[in-house]
């Protein structure tokens, strides 16, 4: 009987010690932290004409029901004097040191450049040739920027087939560089698909005419042929 009483007492003491330890381990810890709700006004991707003034559409932040917009820190490298892709970052930190962040992309293009700009692929006249013609079926955005040395950067020579149509992401866009002569004829300088580590075999029928671009890309030894027609937006 004494042994049983001793055993019960030992269990009670162990439970007390565990509870005490747990209390000590959580003492001083923050149980709840309130993050700021950071919101952007306007689109997350904005297009601006080269040389025009850029005005941020705005942003706001709410924390624990209070407006804390004035606590938001903004970092930007936007330069409308030069064509390019720029970014704006927004951040706010709460009392416990946790950040809420947001970002916006700003694309600057020259409306007077006959080649540079944002294009949309023709859904029916753009197609892949591989065991028959398969139209793109939708319009995808393609960005072409003047490099300032007589060449242009293209963010996807395949017209968005893998990157946007198949949903593989930007690693499967065929980025590249082209040149355009006085008659609008296009020559491929280089190309590369990061996701697969390969490039185009070549481009034929490349032409720029009044805001319309056409080219045919031969890709891999199979071969896969991509006939792309785009209109400047």
Least confident of 4-18, 47-61, 94-108: 4-18
Per-residue model confidence (pLDDT) at position 33: 86
Q: Find the mean pLDDT for residues 107-133.
A: 97
Q: pTM of the entire structure?
A: 0.81
Which pLDDT band, with edges at 50, 70 and 90, does 216 fall under? very high
Q: Find the mean pLDDT for residues 212-216.
A: 98
Per-residue model confidence (pLDDT) at position 32: 84
Cβ–Cβ under 8 Å, residues 202 and 220: no
Distance in angstroms (rounded) separating the CA atoms of residues 62 and 56: 19
Per-residue model confidence (pLDDT) at position 127: 98
In terms of DSSP bridges, do strands 99-109 and 45-49 run parallel, antiparallel, or are they unpaired? parallel
Per-residue model confidence (pLDDT) at position 69: 97
Distance in angstroms (rounded) separating the CA atoms of residues 77 and 87: 6
Those residues whose C-beta lies under 8 Å from the C-beta of residue 152, and which sit 6 or more positions away, are 115, 116, 144, 145, 146, 177, 178, 179, 180
pLDDT at residue 19 greater than cutoff 90? no
pLDDT at residue 10 greater than cutoff 90? no
Per-residue model confidence (pLDDT) at position 21: 41
pLDDT at residue 140 greater than cutoff 90? yes
Compare 27 and 90 and report the one with higher pLDDT. 90
Per-residue model confidence (pLDDT) at position 100: 95
Per-residue model confidence (pLDDT) at position 15: 40
Per-residue model confidence (pLDDT) at position 146: 96
> What average pLDDT is seen over the chain?
89
Which pLDDT band, with edges at 50, 70 and 90, does 31 fall under? low
Per-residue model confidence (pLDDT) at position 4: 42
Cβ–Cβ under 8 Å, residues 92 and 68: yes
């Amino acid at each position: 009987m004494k042994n049983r009483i001793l055993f019960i007492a030992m269990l009670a003491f162990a439970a007390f010690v565990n509870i005490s330890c747990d209390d000590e381990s959580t003492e001083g810890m923050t149980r709840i932290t309130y993050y700021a709700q950071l919101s952007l006004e306007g689109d997350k991707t904005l297009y601006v004409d080269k040389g025009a003034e850029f005005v941020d559409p705005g942003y706001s932040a709410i924390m624990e029901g209070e407006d804390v917009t004035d606590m938001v820190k903004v970092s930007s490298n936007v330069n409308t004097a030069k064509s390019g892709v720029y970014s704006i970052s927004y951040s706010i930190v709460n009392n416990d040191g946790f950040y809420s962040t947001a970002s916006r992309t700003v694309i600057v293009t020259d409306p007077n450049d006959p080649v540079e700009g944002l294009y949309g692929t023709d859904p029916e006249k753009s197609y892949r040739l591989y065991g028959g013609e398969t139209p793109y079926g939708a319009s995808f955005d393609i960005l072409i920027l003047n490099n300032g040395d007589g060449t242009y950067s293209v963010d996807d020579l395949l017209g968005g087939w893998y990157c946007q149509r198949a949903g593989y992401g930007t690693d499967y866009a065929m980025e590249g560089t082209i040149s355009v002569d006085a008659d609008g004829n296009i020559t491929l300088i280089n190309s590369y698909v990061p996701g697969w580590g390969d490039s185009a075999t070549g481009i034929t029928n490349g032409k720029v005419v009044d805001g319309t671009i056409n080219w045919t890309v031969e890709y891999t030894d199979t071969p896969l042929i991509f006939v792309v027609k785009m209109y400047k937006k």
